Structure 1
Amino acid sequence: MSRYSIDDFVNETKQKDRGEGVFELETPRMLEINLNGQIWAKAGAMVSYRGSIKFEREGIFEHGLGKMFKKALTGEGTSLMKATGNGKLYVADQGKKISILNLQGESIYVNGNDLLAFEPSINWDIKLMKRVAGMLAGGLFNVRLEGRGMAAITSHYEPLTLLVTPDNPVYTDPNATVAWSGTLAPEFVTDISLKTFLGRGSGESIQMKFSGNGFVVVQPFEEIYYSQQS
């Protein structure tokens, strides 16, 4: 059989069962969900599925009035879909790299644009960073996950995790910040000299400062967020 044949291609790229559980990384940028019940995923993330699976957009009142108002403020970036049934579901987000987290009672904050999927056993809430909303286009929001279960987050290219200690705070670019531990509460600081030095837009002068004990995940890419009005 000659190299680069169709058979070679199929054998190299075909789906493989790894027996890893509900969430499996089929490739670094494709998540396989072995569905037996229900899962939450980012709206529009479905690439393919097999089996009997029903998809529904998140109901307006499904999670209570408080979250509905927060969703109205944060725009479409937080839209979720509910997948219910039995089968294999494949989800992805613009070719971004996927990381799986198995929460064991911990909590983590994830940038709303970087949350791909999570099990219904995980409690979640939308947090809008009001103090920075007027500084960045469209503001900045994140989702707090807590409990037990699997979650999948995405990043442009390989993520880097930086440890935060009381004597060594970490500063990040908000547009490059993917997630941080639930033990941390970032504050926003501005640096006029940095803005002048870089010669870029107003967003470049804003930094997130993480203090305490925990970690923060960054990516080598700056995502630009737009409001619904833009």
Structure 2
Amino acid sequence: MSSYSIQEFMEKTERSESPSEVFGLQSERILEVDLTDNVWAKMGTMIGYTGDIKFERERALEHGVERAVKKTFTDEGGELMKASGRGRLFLADQGKRVTILDLGSQQLTVNGNDLLAFEPSIDWDIEFMRKAAGMMAGGLFNITLQGEGKIAVTTYFEPLTLPVTSDQPVFTDPSATVAWSGGLTPEFHTDINYRTFLGKGSGESIQMKFSGDGFVIVQPGFETE
């Protein structure tokens, strides 16, 4: 157990120099946002701020009727909040590792539980993997983001990126799957036999299969039901 004087503790844990861009890391688990207008973030992830910032829950029709209907029937990965004003905003999600990605007009689909924040310049929509209905309780709904700007995603520990090619699909555990690039076609793949029903299977009977050209981001840890 470490022991510090008050001064030593303050020096060790005080906020470091501010990032030079809108999104920056105070540590590998804390996102700092240099807020001058507004930003969208996962509800309940604000851990502190300075300046004059107001927080609003995402309104029912904030992003149009179609998206509101999708959210009603999917209950996607927690609600969004909009932080508006000027100041420094600090975000974190259950101690998970934070990674900042610059989309650069590319498309990325992220598991709703793993999306921490994104700039207002980013366009987004909810994707529903219908073929998975009835196969598993979670991991069916994801958020597709595209445009110019940055997003922040969270992972349990260090993420791993797996390349996908047209002749080499990639299979992943749905709960470990964080995000995938726009050039991929995801589908649920089952490997169920009599041993699965007898309770002697490996536990990996439901998988995600990614085909096309691109990449998949996975994490080495995740919550279990």
Structure 2 length-normalised TM: 0.92
Whichever residue aligns with residue 144 of structure 1, its letter is T
Which residue in the other structure is 2:46 paired with? 46
Shift of 1:138: 4.2
Per the alignment, do residues 198 and 25 of structure 1 end up closer, same or farther by CA in structure 2, a change over 3 Å counting? farther
What is the distance in 2 between the residues matched to 1:19 and 1:62? Answer: 30
Per the alignment, do residues 63 and 116 of structure 1 end up closer, same or farther by CA in structure 2, a change over 3 Å counting? same
Which residue in the other structure is 1:68 paired with? 68
Whether the aligned pair in 1 keeps the contact of 2:171 and 2:209 (CA below 8 Å) is: yes
Please tell me whether residue 23 in structure 1 is matched to residue 23 in structure 2: yes
Which residue in the other structure is 2:97 paired with? 97
Per the alignment, do residues 172 and 197 of structure 1 end up closer, same or farther by CA in structure 2, a change over 3 Å counting? farther
Deviations 1:141-175 (A, max 9, x none): 10000000010000111110001111211100101
What is the distance in 1 between the residues matched to 2:76 and 2:216? Answer: 25
Which residue in the other structure is 2:201 paired with? 198
Which residue in the other structure is 2:6 paired with? 6
What is the distance in 2 between the residues matched to 1:82 and 1:18? Answer: 22
What is the distance in 1 between the residues matched to 2:121 and 2:16? Answer: 27
Whether the aligned pair in 2 keeps the contact of 1:130 and 1:139 (CA below 8 Å) is: no
Which residue in the other structure is 2:177 paired with? 177
What is the distance in 1 between the residues matched to 2:50 and 2:77? Answer: 27
What is the distance in 2 between the residues matched to 1:198 and 1:157? Answer: 27
Deviations 1:73-95 (A, max 9, x none): 22162410000000000011100
Deviations 1:56-101 (A, max 9, x none): 0001011111101110122162410000000000011100111000
Shift of 1:35: 0.3
What is the distance in 1 between the residues matched to 2:76 and 2:215? Answer: 28
Which residues of 2 match residues 109-120 of structure 1 at below 5 A? 109-120=109-120
* Equivalences, count: 220
Whether the aligned pair in 2 keeps the contact of 1:70 and 1:126 (CA below 8 Å) is: yes
Which residue in the other structure is 1:228 paired with? none
Percent of paired sites with the same residue: 55
Unaligned segments of structure 2, at least 5 residues: none
Shift of 1:198: 3.4
Shift of 1:187: 1.3
Structure 1 length-normalised TM: 0.90
Whether the aligned pair in 2 keeps the contact of 1:129 and 1:139 (CA below 8 Å) is: no
Deviations 1:97-145 (A, max 9, x none): 1100011100100001000000000000011112113111145110000
User: After TM superposition, which residue ranges in structure 1, 4 or more long, deviate above 3 angstroms?
Assistant: 193-200, 222-225
Shift of 1:13: 1.1
Per the alignment, do residues 139 and 153 of structure 1 end up closer, same or farther by CA in structure 2, a change over 3 Å counting? closer
Please tell me whether residue 166 in structure 1 is matched to residue 171 in structure 2: no
- CA RMSD, aligned part only? 1.7
